[in-house]
Structure 1
Amino acid sequence: MFADQSSLKFSEIKTNVLSGLTVALAMVPEAIAFALIAHVSPLTGLYAAVLVSLITSVFGGRPGMISGAAGALAVVMVALVVQYGVQYLFATIILMGLLQILFAVAKLGKFIRMVPHPVMLGFVNGLAIVIFLAQFNHFKTIQADGSYGWMSGAPLYIMLGLIAITMAIIYLLPRLTRAIPSTLAAIIVVSTSVIYLGLDTKTVGDLGSIAGGLPTFHFPEVPWTLETLYIIFPYALILAAVGLIETLLTLNLIDEMTETRGRPNREAMAQGMANVVTAFFGGMGGCAMIGQSMININNGALKRLSGIATSLFLLSFILFASRWIEMIPLAALIGVMFVVAEKTFEWGTLNLFGKVPKQDVFVGLLVGGVTIIADLAIAVIAGVIVSALVFAWEHAKQLKVYTEKDKNGMTVHQLHGTLFFASIANFQALFNPASDDAQVVIDFKHAKVMDHSALMAIDSLAAKYRAVGKSLHLRHLSPDCQELLESAKAIIEVNLLEDPTYRVSDDKLA
């Protein structure tokens, strides 16, 4: 478990610890904001960040990935908390964690590798835009008439100036030195300048106090009945799905960036454990956070130590340093997240228009758009379904037939491609029993029969030839096909040396 920590060099320790500090600073406003979205206290979000980050970093399958309270989960929690209260939320998070553990036990994490690349691009770009747009909430403030509106005048100019300075430091400092993460340096410089110059600008403290003690164990105060299960199960299922999808897609993204391979089932298990534990200690649950993970990876922190350090720094902020952390200007953290959004967005996708199939472009835009306006889980599921349908449609169009005469003068139709549910209509259109010769062979040597729909299509075609008094012969079908065909079974030519042995998807073989 700790193999990646056993031989850390001093430079690696420094990189991972300093990156952990940077990530912790960036997580504070996020955790508070997501807690407020979910209608729970700031500490509920911060405790989730502490515990989920710690447990997933120690036991997870992707060193360097950062987990904590996430906005994608918070928006699902709102209705539950408003209607039933925070104690039902804690019970829901426990069930959410148990569902994620079951997912890991069933070893279903491998299926995340089947997510098409256009879906991944849409996911990444959609979340980058979500991260960018989310920062604009900090540009709102209470107006003189008591209403809530956009900043203007000096406060706005100060905020924009500080954001620009933050971003400039992040982009330019690496050209001078990499002794300290540029994001951390930017936060320190801007925060020090604001405090020293006495600038009036929004700070972390304006979101809410982060002062508190150690999280304490408590059992959710809900009636443990079937009625409660009926209430919380739908929310737990959605939260478990959203959390796993965001986590495993982030894991895939980090795998590609670092050219390493994470362990999705182990990560799912760790996330489930983390959510169960955090619910018993007053946390709102969580999953991987792509923004904070990108900060960590871009800092070169690829060890478990970075996530552990993030958790410990967050806890120290709550216990000892809340007064100082609350003085950090939001502009510095907004600047950091703007850079994260810029670096997360796959700008190369803009060059793909006109160079890749239109359906791939559509899928990427669909996933990105749904991620922005609706829900991550819905976006990814929709993208996978559309990709599968597009693949089936394109694959179905590849079914071809080539006709020739054999040495005995019989007409032989050589079928090329895959016969399955989506290609049935094309298959039926390839043959005209009424105008065909009296003796006809369909050769499946260069084709595959994949499912029950394909078998029914062959049976139906055989019946059509029989109805017009024609003789049809079927060659090179696998033993599965020979066993499952019904009306066409009598016209199959068996060649033990040449017949293929592939399997057919059909419940009759179960």
Structure 2
Amino acid sequence: MFEFPQFSKQSVKNDVLSGLTVALALVPEAVAFAFVAGVDPMVGLYAAFIVGFVTAVLGGRPGMISGATGAMAVVMVSLVAEHGIQYLFAAIMLAGVIQILAGIFKLGKFIRMVPHPVMIGFVNGLAIVIFLAQLGQFKVPDATGALVWMQGPQLYIMLGLVLLTMAIIHFLPKLTKAVPSSLVAIITVTLLVHGLGLDTRTVVDFVRTMSGDANATLAGSLPTFALPEVGFNMETLRIILPYSVILAAVGLIESLLTLTVIDEMTGTRGQGNRECVGQGIANMTCSVFGAMGGCAMIGQSMININSGGRGRLSGITGAVGLLLFILFGSSLIEMIPLAALVGVMFMVVIGTFEWATFKLARKVPTHDFFAILLVTGVTVAFDLALAVIVGVIYSALVFAWEHAKRIYATSHTDQNGSKIYVVNGPLFFGSASHFLELFDAKNDPANVIIDFANSRVADHSAIEAIDTVAERYTNQGKTLHIRHLSPECRSLLKKAGNLVEINMLEDPTYKVATDTLG
């Protein structure tokens, strides 16, 4: 479970500096998601530290950043509103158990079966969600406390600082890569704002606006251990189980998809099942330390990777750095202009969005391009988990439809007078009805052989189709033989009983997913 890699001075420097950059960017995100969930800001900040630290140590993807996320926060809000925060902690504990079980039973491998168009829709949708979330920073409270869009000099200063941040991040790597450009941009813009006395919103202004407390700060203490104050009985289980299942699913889907994206960016391979266990342990830890739980964050992970962070040390530095800011450096973090963090996140959006999508319209099948748009739209309109589920179901139905049209049979008569049908294409629920039309029981000879050497019996609908064909030949007083079936197919066909005769020749073993993918 634990790794003790050999670090070079260069990798340590990159991981530490990129981790500090991530820690700075985590603050407003954690605070914002805490308010989305309807809990105190410190509950979100503690989650960012705990989830980030535990997954950095135990997770399956070095360099990936985890913390409090909006995808899980929107699930939590109704539970907190109806039953209180203690039930949230209990739900997070159970969600963690479910995630650990998913890792133990090696379910992480199935994320590899998510189609590529769904992956593109996933990253595009999250890029749009991240972008839309940053627009909220361009709103300020009016005299009544309602949030309104910035206007005049305040808006111009905000836009200018955002553009300056983005310019530094874009052009600095062309001069030097000794330090993360995002960190340099944040420090430069912060010094410029306070050196010139520019009137622009800072992190502490954001916290006070969100909380409605003019004296709110980010200063805090270490989280303390305490079991959720709920009755550990069936009534509590009835309340939290639906939320726990959804939280566990959302957390794993977002984490494993982010893991896959980071794999592609770095040319390495993470361990999906280990990540499931790491996420579960992190959420269980959150539940007993007063934190809201979380999962992988694609935005922060992109910041880390683009800043040079590749190892576990980057995630550990980000988490520990965030905790140190809370304990000792809150006054410094509160000084950071929101414009600097917005600029960093805008660059994340630009780097995350798959701009080649617009070129794919004429280069890929129409149904694949529609899958990209579908997943992107559902991610923006609803949430990530639903989007991925919808995308996978849509892709599966398209696959079934396309393959249902590809089953056909060639026939010939052998020297014994038996007619042999050679079936080509998969036999499953989508192609079963067409399969029945391939045979002429009334006019065929007394002995008929169906050869599945080029086909595969896939499901119960296929078994019923073979059973129906066999019955048709039996009713005509004719004998049907089946041959060249794989072992999996023969086991499925036991249901057909004595209606069919199975040739026991060995055939290849077919597998869909193996544990080596985990």
TM-score range, shorter chain: over 0.9
**1:485 maps to what in 2?**
496
Amino acid at match of 1:296: N
Looking at structure 2, the residues matched to 19 and 337 of structure 1 have their Cα atoms a distance apart, in angstroms, of: 15
User: How many Å apart are 1:210 and its aligned residue?
Assistant: 0.9
Q: CA RMSD in A?
A: 2.1
Contact 2:180 2:308 in 1 (8 A): no
Cα-to-partner distance string for 1:436-477 (whole Å, 9 max, x where unaligned): 556544333322223332222122112223434555444444
Contact 1:463 1:487 in 2 (8 A): no
Contact 1:458 1:488 in 2 (8 A): no
Contact 1:16 1:303 in 2 (8 A): yes
TM-score, length of structure 2 as denominator length: 0.92
Amino acid at match of 2:459: D
Contact 2:204 2:334 in 1 (8 A): yes
**2:413 maps to what in 1?**
405
Looking at structure 1, the residues matched to 4 and 190 of structure 2 have their Cα atoms a distance apart, in angstroms, of: 34
Looking at structure 2, the residues matched to 482 and 216 of structure 1 have their Cα atoms a distance apart, in angstroms, of: 59
Contact 1:462 1:487 in 2 (8 A): no
**1:508 maps to what in 2?**
none
**1:190 maps to what in 2?**
189
CA shift in 2, pair 1:454/1:206, >3 Å: same
Within 5 Å, which residues of 2 pair with 1:357-368? Answer: 357-368=365-376
**2:469 maps to what in 1?**
461
User: How many Å apart are 1:228 and its aligned residue?
Assistant: 1.6
CA shift in 2, pair 1:422/1:307, >3 Å: same
CA shift in 2, pair 1:442/1:217, >3 Å: closer
**2:249 maps to what in 1?**
241
Contact 1:462 1:472 in 2 (8 A): yes
**2:331 maps to what in 1?**
323
Looking at structure 2, the residues matched to 481 and 45 of structure 1 have their Cα atoms a distance apart, in angstroms, of: 51
**2:118 maps to what in 1?**
119
- 1:395 aligns to 2:403 (yes or no): yes
CA shift in 2, pair 1:296/1:394, >3 Å: same
Give the secondary structure class of the aligned counterpart of 1:413. strand
Amino acid at match of 1:198: G
Give the secondary structure class of the aligned counterpart of 1:366. helix
Looking at structure 1, the residues matched to 116 and 510 of structure 2 have their Cα atoms a distance apart, in angstroms, of: 28
- After the TM superposition, which of the residue ranges 275-284 and 167-176 deviates more from structure 2? 275-284
Looking at structure 1, the residues matched to 374 and 40 of structure 2 have their Cα atoms a distance apart, in angstroms, of: 35
- 1:349 aligns to 2:357 (yes or no): yes
Looking at structure 2, the residues matched to 477 and 29 of structure 1 have their Cα atoms a distance apart, in angstroms, of: 59
Cα-to-partner distance string for 1:309-361 (whole Å, 9 max, x where unaligned): 11111111111111111011101000000000110111122211121122211
Give the number of aligned pairs. 500
Give the secondary structure class of the aligned counterpart of 2:363. coil
Contact 1:392 1:422 in 2 (8 A): yes
**2:173 maps to what in 1?**
174
- After the TM superposition, which of the residue ranges 147-156 and 401-410 deviates more from structure 2? 401-410
Give the secondary structure class of the aligned counterpart of 1:282. coil
Looking at structure 1, the residues matched to 492 and 316 of structure 2 have their Cα atoms a distance apart, in angstroms, of: 56
- After the TM superposition, which of the residue ranges 405-414 and 283-292 deviates more from structure 2? 405-414
Give the secondary structure class of the aligned counterpart of 1:444. strand
CA shift in 2, pair 1:221/1:462, >3 Å: closer
Contact 1:442 1:474 in 2 (8 A): yes
User: How many Å apart are 1:97 and its aligned residue?
Assistant: 1.2
- 1:97 aligns to 2:105 (yes or no): no
CA shift in 2, pair 1:353/1:482, >3 Å: closer
User: How many Å apart are 1:212 and its aligned residue?
Assistant: 0.8
Contact 2:463 2:493 in 1 (8 A): no
Looking at structure 2, the residues matched to 499 and 71 of structure 1 have their Cα atoms a distance apart, in angstroms, of: 52
Give unpaired runs (5+ residues) of structure 1: 506-510
User: How many Å apart are 1:147 and its aligned residue?
Assistant: 2.9
User: How many Å apart are 1:28 and its aligned residue?
Assistant: 0.4
Contact 1:451 1:504 in 2 (8 A): no
**2:45 maps to what in 1?**
46
User: How many Å apart are 1:135 and its aligned residue?
Assistant: 0.4
**2:153 maps to what in 1?**
154
User: How many Å apart are 1:413 and its aligned residue?
Assistant: 2.4
Give the secondary structure class of the aligned counterpart of 2:103. helix
User: How many Å apart are 1:405 and its aligned residue?
Assistant: 3.2
Looking at structure 2, the residues matched to 366 and 474 of structure 1 have their Cα atoms a distance apart, in angstroms, of: 42
- 1:110 aligns to 2:109 (yes or no): yes
Cα-to-partner distance string for 1:257-303 (whole Å, 9 max, x where unaligned): 11111111111111111111122111111111100000111112111
Looking at structure 1, the residues matched to 321 and 484 of structure 2 have their Cα atoms a distance apart, in angstroms, of: 67
Looking at structure 1, the residues matched to 493 and 151 of structure 2 have their Cα atoms a distance apart, in angstroms, of: 77
Contact 1:480 1:504 in 2 (8 A): no
CA shift in 2, pair 1:502/1:287, >3 Å: closer
Cα-to-partner distance string for 1:192-220 (whole Å, 9 max, x where unaligned): 10011111111100122211111111222
Cα-to-partner distance string for 1:31-67 (whole Å, 9 max, x where unaligned): 0100111111111111111111111111111110111
Contact 1:80 1:88 in 2 (8 A): yes
Looking at structure 2, the residues matched to 439 and 230 of structure 1 have their Cα atoms a distance apart, in angstroms, of: 60
- After the TM superposition, which of the residue ranges 211-220 and 237-246 deviates more from structure 2? 211-220
Contact 2:459 2:492 in 1 (8 A): no
Give the secondary structure class of the aligned counterpart of 2:430. helix
Looking at structure 2, the residues matched to 442 and 106 of structure 1 have their Cα atoms a distance apart, in angstroms, of: 38
Cα-to-partner distance string for 1:5-49 (whole Å, 9 max, x where unaligned): 4x2121211111110110000110000100111111111111111
CA shift in 2, pair 1:231/1:3, >3 Å: closer
CA shift in 2, pair 1:418/1:2, >3 Å: closer
User: How many Å apart are 1:501 and its aligned residue?
Assistant: 6.8
User: How many Å apart are 1:435 and its aligned residue?
Assistant: 4.9
Looking at structure 2, the residues matched to 75 and 284 of structure 1 have their Cα atoms a distance apart, in angstroms, of: 12
**1:256 maps to what in 2?**
264
Amino acid at match of 2:165: T
- After the TM superposition, which of the residue ranges 45-54 and 467-476 deviates more from structure 2? 467-476
TM-score, length of structure 1 as denominator length: 0.93
Contact 1:450 1:504 in 2 (8 A): no
1:449 to 444, 450, 457: 457
Looking at structure 1, the residues matched to 495 and 511 of structure 2 have their Cα atoms a distance apart, in angstroms, of: 9
- After the TM superposition, which of the residue ranges 208-217 and 450-459 deviates more from structure 2? 450-459
Identity %: 58
**2:303 maps to what in 1?**
295
CA shift in 2, pair 1:277/1:402, >3 Å: same
Contact 1:459 1:487 in 2 (8 A): no
Contact 1:31 1:45 in 2 (8 A): yes
Contact 1:54 1:311 in 2 (8 A): yes
User: How many Å apart are 1:187 and its aligned residue?
Assistant: 0.4
CA shift in 2, pair 1:293/1:442, >3 Å: same
User: How many Å apart are 1:417 and its aligned residue?
Assistant: 1.6
User: How many Å apart are 1:221 and its aligned residue?
Assistant: 2.0
Cα-to-partner distance string for 1:103-154 (whole Å, 9 max, x where unaligned): 1222211111121111111111111111111101111111245432211111
